[in-house]
A and B are shown apart, each in its own frame.
Chain A
Amino acid sequence: MTNLKASLLALAATTALTAFAFPAQAEDSVFVPLFTYRTGPFAGSGIFIADGMHDYLTMLNERDGGIGGVKIAVEECETGYDTKKGLECYEAVKPKNPVMVNPWSTGITLPLIPRAAVDKIPILSMAYGLSASAQGDTFPWIFNPPDTYWDGFSQILKFIGGQEGGLDKLKGKKIGYIYLDAGFGREPLPLIEQLAKDYGFEAKLYPVAAAEMQNQSAQWLNVRRDRPDYMVMYGWGAMQPTAIKEAVKTNYPMDKFISIWWPSEDDARGAGDGAKGFKMLNWHGSTPDFPVIKDVQKYVVDAGKSQSPKEKVGTTLYNRGVYNSMLIAEAIRTAQQVTGKKVVTGEDVRRGLEDLNIDAARLKALGMEGFTGPIKLSCSDHNGHRPTFVQQWDGTKYVKVSDWIEPLSDKVKPLLQADAKAYAEKNAPWPARTEACDARS
């Protein structure tokens, strides 16, 4: 009997907390939810991003009192890189009028794309998500600066061409592509096919299933058999350190191993000395020696308001989070300027993102001189297609080893346009753009 009573009480207690309306947002603040993952198989990458994003916005609150005098209300929602939890986070934050959403997972971004226009919340999927969302005319509410995955691959190819003495020298070469067998890894495949045809190289594909991320010996055995001249990796989370370790194990020449912009220092460090020479794309600094990072350290890390260990501040993925938050803050500021309001809404920030223009002078004012390059978005270009550079692991840190590389826009842009058109057709009726263009660009 007591057992039954106890269990009934427990049942009653657990069902007592249902159907709560969530408290409305406090006035005079701008709500920015952060969809982060500090748990799960992708936490290895997600934790740094989360810390960087959180700390920059907190720094703005502490140092400047917010943006334009309005504080930023930052709230993290844990998604674990799971689409279902991500959607739950989205539904949970919607009543609080977020000004934008950063899903940090292509899997979560894809279901949100059609909802953005209906819910009037812009999505900033920085350098991930649906590449075609660069086309602002088809996707007025989605933004993915500074580069798409297609730009990234073309930049890697250009770098390889530079190593070989020209893109025409790629004829007959083998380029291996190892990728996470999920949306974001598969996205560049049409571009790779196209470029392989155009430049005459042979593309070898090595998919890695998400459940087999830590068991890549078969893929790297295949690499050993095929002996590609270069290896390109599109990975995330636990896939990256395993790939680097396996590459070292099979004695693949590390300086020919180039990854898209997602590895961190820890991913390369785990493989020991053999990982020296490993390269990756980047578009911002990966050290703490910039005024903006120093401010973050002073106002947030040293003041005990950060979850990040001190030695991780200023590393590649931490700075990536800082860059993302910088875009958020600048979008809010631009929205405030364009509308004249202090407490802006999602629709205002959409305009802010479209009118985003961060030039060299603004970068200097932000403390980001030398940290990254200028970026300008427009109504039709929601990406910017900015150049990136290649950085190389030297055993302790990443060092920039190339100049700024522009993407192969003449190859990438037609594919983006075609893909955007195909998306709109497949998801007909896809609403035509009705949002006005501020014609600032």
Chain B
Amino acid sequence: MALLEVNDLKTYFRTDDGIVKAVDGVNFTVEKGKTLGIVGESGCGKSVTCLTMMGLNNRRNTITSGEALFKGEDLLTMKPSKLRDVRGNDIAMIFQDPMTSLNPVHTIGRQLVEAIQLHRDVTTKAAKTRALELLKAVGIPRADRRIGDYPHQFSGGMRQRVMIAMALINDPDLLIADEPTTALDVTTQAQILELMNRLQREFGSAIILVTHDLGVVAETADDVVVMYAARVVENAPVENLFNRPHMPYTWGLLGSLPRLDADMERLTQIPGQPPSLLNPPRGCRFHPRCPYVMNVCKEKEPELQPISNDPAHLQACHLDEQTKDREAAKLLAGTLAEVS
């Protein structure tokens, strides 16, 4: 059984302008101890998917349907008190901005102790020892002294380490990391990714890594979900996705990326902007920007289905497979042929 199984997840927000379909029928599974990368541009619903699973949306204006089965139990219909128990115990989350997700008026030691005591019945002294242990585990130098410091006394990378320490308190089975390295520099990003990899090996947690950086996904994820305009457009093991991308949007993302391993005089650009989720286009949501658009794309929304010779590789596109194989090969040849 998969650790987490998300089926037809929908999150709609009621706003003054109408209903925003922020997540509209998303399916994926996360296996135990594996990393799932969710990629997509801003506003494609990747963060909302995570927040919905954690029950962190404002209930007043949110309509949620579908199911998110964690160890067989549905997170969406779970009683709030039970969910509270799962959150932080079995599932933990790391957010993008480590400054705004730590409380600036309490020392990090106090915040860690609070989080430990929420879930475990231990003395403050024992909690403090545990906090110190965690800070050491995430590689904070002179942890015994830094434990009394306030968040502003830490650099961005160090704050993100504190966040990770806090997430690891109860050895969660699933760690949701929402753009954990976006606010960081490359060298710090490398440190944090290495740390997450090491901790995954040690603690055996599964990770959902939400990011817009295809490079980060390629290096850390086992499976990848590509989202566009609130829907999943491609879902495949990482090797297959990068070696044989099967959806024009994925091609566009790969082609628009300046990269160190290939020379490109001009980047392929995806024309236009992502659509508004208030009123998404009919049929395939990518069709107004798709260079391969056919009549059927404007009418019928493609289903997420496996490609013929690879059942693990799901994609949602009407284009026939021969054309796709040809175009994908062309794209890869375009980037790989020029490697010096």
B partners with A: no
> Which B residues lie at the A interface, using CB under 8 A?
none
- Chain A residues with a Cβ under 8 A of chain B: none
